[in-house]
Homo-oligomer: A and B are copies of this chain.
Amino acid sequence: MSISTASKALNDSGRMSAETRERVKKVALEVGFRPNALARGLITKRSFTIGLLTNDTYGRFTLPVMAGVSEELVGHGVSVFLCAIEDDSERARVHVDAMLDKSVDGIIASGKRLDRQLPVDLTGLAVPVVYAFTKGPVDGVTLRSDDEQGARLAVRCLMDAGCRRIVNVTGPKTFQSVRERADAYRATIDGPPEVLHGIWSEAWGHEAVAQLWDRGGEKPDGIFCGNDQIARGVVDALRERGVRVPEDVAVVGFDNWDIVAAQTRPPLTTVDMNLRTLGREAGRLVLAMSEGREVQPGIRKLPCSLVVRQSCRGLEAPA
């Protein structure tokens, strides 16, 4: 039995009798034959390897994305290099070079902001690149969450819960996602909008509540927060003031960061960006591109979903 015949049998290529093919496969299984991926890659130009580049060191956004990518690709025999670069363009370059040396089949660039590029230029590379949850070039393939749709979900939940005066306590105006979410908020509520910008911290949530409650005039009965940390600050501050959540004021967060949302008292209703799904999609796309299939460039927005806990119950679901 020649090596070439065996190869053809195992790869379902070439011409041969079904009987021979079966026989080879059976023996290969018995003997535990594992083809050497390096030798195979050398000739096929595919390493069954992709690189995931990220500058999100907390892993808050990258880990779910990574999990999705891996989940999608492991069935195709593709493994994932994870490279954490912390906004250091030189280090990023080293990592990218290392990946190229290993002839990855593609690269997924991921980050923590939709309006910032990674500190390294990935255009003009010989391998396909997919941008997931980070800014890519205009002619690149980019995946992101649909923040406007997510914000609409959140605000509608508050409205369904009966809120009439809803305020948006959110992060810095410099973040594109902050502006998008605020815009969707303005377009969805009935009354006059009020947007309070601050930083992404619990402390700002506290302070915002102080501002809103210590001034005269009507108090809000619903608060749409820019992320879960701010929401937690808001909820804590309200509880300290004796304001009941969600009876007096309903609160909705953004991110569904489990560790924050679930530990808040009461647990947060919040928007989930479905980053795992986004990761799967990124994996699917980069694999398709590496196999030469045509992929339309442009920005793909993936829908968010609402995770209802106790800080805002919206309409009760029909029984």
Contacts and interface: CB of A to CB of B under 8 A. Distances in A.
A124 B259 CA distance: 38
A20 B299 CA distance: 51
A79 B82 CA distance: 8
A247 to B, nearest CB: 19
B103 A38 contact: yes
A79 B63 contact: no
Interface stretch (A40-48, A164-172, A286-294): A40-48
Contacts of A84: 63, 66-67, 70
Interface in A185-227: 201-203
Given A57-B67, A74-B95, A95-B74, A102 B79 contact: yes
Main secondary structure of the interface of A (DSSP, over half): helix
A34 B125 CA distance: 14
A36 B126 CA distance: 14
Contacts of A78: 98
Interface in A29-68: 34-39, 41-42, 47-49, 51, 57-59, 63, 66-67
Nearest to A91: B74
Contacts of A83: 70, 79-80
B95 A37 contact: no
Given A41-B38, A74-B95, A81-B81, A102 B66 contact: no
- Chain A contact patch, size range: 35 or more
A10 interface: no
Given A38-B39, A57-B63, 16 more contacts: A38-B38, A38-B41, A38-B103, A48-B98, A51-B79, A58-B63, A66-B82, A67-B84, A70-B82, A70-B84, A79-B98, A79-B99, A80-B81, A82-B82, A201-B263, A259-B260
Interface of A: 34-39, 41-42, 47-49, 51, 57-59, 63, 66-67, 70, 74, 77-84, 91, 94-95, 97-103, 201-203, 229, 236, 240, 258-260, 263
15 contacts: A38-B42, A48-B102, A51-B79, A58-B63, A58-B258, A58-B259, A59-B59, A63-B84, A66-B84, A74-B94, A74-B95, A79-B95, A79-B99, A80-B82, A81-B82
